[in-house]
Amino acid sequence: MKTRLIIVGGFLGAGKTTLLLESARQLAARGYRVGLVTNDQGKDLVDTTLISQQRWPVEEVAGGCFCCSFPDLYTSLIHLQDTIQPDVVLAEPVGSCTDLVSTVLRPLATYYPGQFEVAPLTILLDASRDVAPFPNSVGYLFDKQLTEAELILLNKVDLLKADSVNNWMGSLQKQYPQAQKLAISSRSGEGVEAWLDIVLGQNSASQLNLDVDYALYAEAEAELGWLNAKGLVRDSQPFSAQTWTRNLLDHLSQRLSAENFPIAHVKVHVSTPVTAFKASLTQTGVPLSWDVTSEDIPADQLEFILNLRVNADPQQLEQIVQETIDAIKPNPSARHYFTHFECFRPLPPRPTHRLILPV
Ligand X SMILES: Nc1nc2c(ncn2[C@@H]2O[C@H](COP(=O)(O)OP(=O)(O)OP(=O)(O)O)[C@@H](O)[C@H]2O)c(=O)[nH]1
Q: Which residues contact ligand X by CB under 6 A?
A: 10, 12-18, 47, 95, 155-156, 158-159, 185-187, 265, 267, 280, 282, 289, 291
Minimum distance from residue 46 beta carbon to Mg ion (Å): 8
User: Do the beta carbons of residue 86 and residue 79 sit within 8 Å?
Assistant: no
Residue list 48-107, contact with Mg ion (CB under 5 A): none
Q: For residue 342, what are the β-bridge partners?
A: 228
Cα 23 to Cα 44, 139, 170, 186: the distances in Å are: 23, 28, 26, 8
Of 268 and 328, CB closest to ligand X:
268
Q: Which of 306, 282, 341, 337 is nearest to 49 (CA)?
A: 306
Q: Give the start-end residues of each E strand in 53-100.
A: 58-61, 88-91
Contact of residue 346 among Mg ion, ligand X, none (CB under 5-8 Å per partner type): none
Q: Is 16 in the site for Mg ion (CB under 5 A)?
A: yes
Q: Is 47 in the site for Mg ion (CB under 5 A)?
A: yes
State the DSSP string of 307-327. Answer: EEEESS-HHHHHHHHHHHHHH
Minimum distance from residue 142 beta carbon to Mg ion (Å): 16
Q: Is 17 in the site for Mg ion (CB under 5 A)?
A: yes
Of 90 and 320, CB closest to Mg ion:
90
Q: Is 126 in the site for Mg ion (CB under 5 A)?
A: no
Task: Indicate the residue type of 258.
Answer: A
Of 335 and 340, CB closest to ligand X:
340
Q: What number of helices (H) and strands (E) belong to the chain?
A: 11, 14
Q: Is 144 in the site for Mg ion (CB under 5 A)?
A: no
Cα 266 from chain centroid? 11
Contact of residue 283 among Mg ion, ligand X, none (CB under 5-8 Å per partner type): none
Q: Is 269 in the site for Mg ion (CB under 5 A)?
A: no
**Residues at the site binding Mg ion, with contacts judged by CB under 5 A:** 16-17, 47
